[in-house]
Amino acid sequence: MTNLSEIEKMSESFDNDSEKIQKELKRVQSVKCRLKRQKFKSSYEKEMTETLKYEQVLKEARNLLEPKEKPVTKFDQEDVDKLDYDETIKAIRSIQSKKTLSKWLTSIENDNDEYRNAAAIEKMLIDHKATKKPVAESQIRKTDVQTIIDTIETSGKLSQEKIIDLLKNLI
């Protein structure tokens, strides 16, 4: 884990623009790829260490600006209960896709753990959908608030400005 103040400085140096950070991340990954082919270079270890550290800081800055949501394939009942109607529909489509892709992972149809897990999650989602109705535009989704809470918890101590920016994005 890198220093949080270093991550915030990196984010600010790119004007808190996730696209600029993504472009820089691609550039650094290209540098890393070229560097991998130069293993016999005398300064290889030092350069690779610096490149990997810089890449990690960029990834954490990107995650700070665009928090990742939990993937549908890892949902449990508690996660399903937090979803609103629209998110439930989206999750159902996602898990049905996963079911279709994992159907024939073994020589016997539907005989693998991924498929069984996807089927169980799909059942939870369909049951949850029956209890929900569509969200009005004037309401804030619980999952958006939960994503921000998770980001704050995993990132350590964020500055007050950064927390306010995340909350303003909800409005």
**d(Cα 72, Cα 35) in Å, to the nearest integer?**
36
> Which segments of the chain have a pLDDT < 70?
1-2, 135-138, 156-158, 170-171
Instruction: Output the pTM of the full model.
Output: 0.53
Residues 41-71 pLDDT 10s? 899 999 999 999 999 999 988 888 887 788 8
pLDDT for the residue numbered 135 = 65
In one letter, which amino acid is 19? E
Using DSSP's 3-state secondary structure scheme, residue 168 falls into helix
Cα–Cα dist 93/88, whole Å: 9
The per-residue pLDDT for 10 is 86
Domain boundaries along the sequence of the chain: 1-66, 72-129, 140-171
**Which pLDDT belongs to residue 55?**
94
